[in-house]
Structure 1
Amino acid sequence: MNTSEPLPAAESAFMLNAFEIDILPGVRGDLDEPLASAAPEELLRVLLPLVDRGWIEVCRVIPWAGPDGRRGFQAGAPLAREELPKVLADAANWEYPGSGDWIGCLTLTLTAQGRRIPW
């Protein structure tokens, strides 16, 4: 792929979500219809190639505590590529948690290579 050309809109939406380190459901707000309300299988067709190119990692949100004791959250270690089709096929991972607690939710992060891609 020639990375000097802009990415398709759907791929750009996933790159934006990873740049923001938003939880996975947030990507729907950046996608155009009909993809914005598509089933996980459709969304996987966009996301997994970005993972396979080494541009995005899929992680779980984990707790974080600052040196001053302030609590928050951050992206944990990337999930193994082999896990992704099953984890991402779960529709619950594409919806905001009813509890409002993001710990354990999926999040996307840009890799060093992904940060160099113009999207």
Structure 2
Amino acid sequence: MSYPATDELSSAERAFMINATEIDILPGVRGDLDEPLASADPTELAAILLPLIDRGWIDVCLLIAWTAPDGQPGLQPGPSIPRYDLPALLADADNWEYPDDGEWLGRLTLVLTETGQLIPR
């Protein structure tokens, strides 16, 4: 299988890959996008993200509670959300906005898959 270098991806695709590399919640991608996409409708953004998921490069997870070995509480990505659930979740505009309460637990989060980690940067 051949993998593109990130400079072969569109700037919008790179933004999603950056977000997944950072294991950031979904709204974080807006900061890596140029206008007008940074303010785009969720369906426009999902149209960029879903093909990256379908290629097996990015997974969407919920952040779950985690306890560090030293006992400190934290967060980590949970299991991948099934592909068939993603269109409805990605169509929800609230999932593309930072939570008002600042709580990231349970928020949609992008992560690179093992295949996505192989793409040269």
TM-score range, shorter chain: over 0.9
In the other structure, the counterpart of 1:37 is 39
Aligned-residue RMSD, C-alpha? 1.3
Residue aligning to 1:10? 12
Q: Deviation string for 1:14-67 (max 9, x for gaps)? A: 000000001100000000010000010000110000000000000001011012
Overall identity of the aligned pairs, in %: 61
2:74 alignment partner, one of 72, 84, 91: 72
What SS is found at the alignment partner of 1:113?
helix
Cα gap change, 1:2 to 1:61, in 2 (>3 Å): closer
Instruction: Give the 3-state SS of the residue equivalent to 2:105 in structure 1.
Output: coil
Which letter maps to 2:44?
E
Paired residues, what number?
A: 119
- Asked if 1:21 corresponds to 2:23, the answer is yes
> Separation in 1 of the partners of 2:17 and 2:45?
13
Unaligned segments of structure 2, at least 5 residues: none
Helix, strand or coil at the partner of 2:79: strand
> Which residue number corresponds to residue 102 of structure 2?
100
Moved over 6 A (4+): none
Contact 1:57 1:108 in 2 (8 A): yes
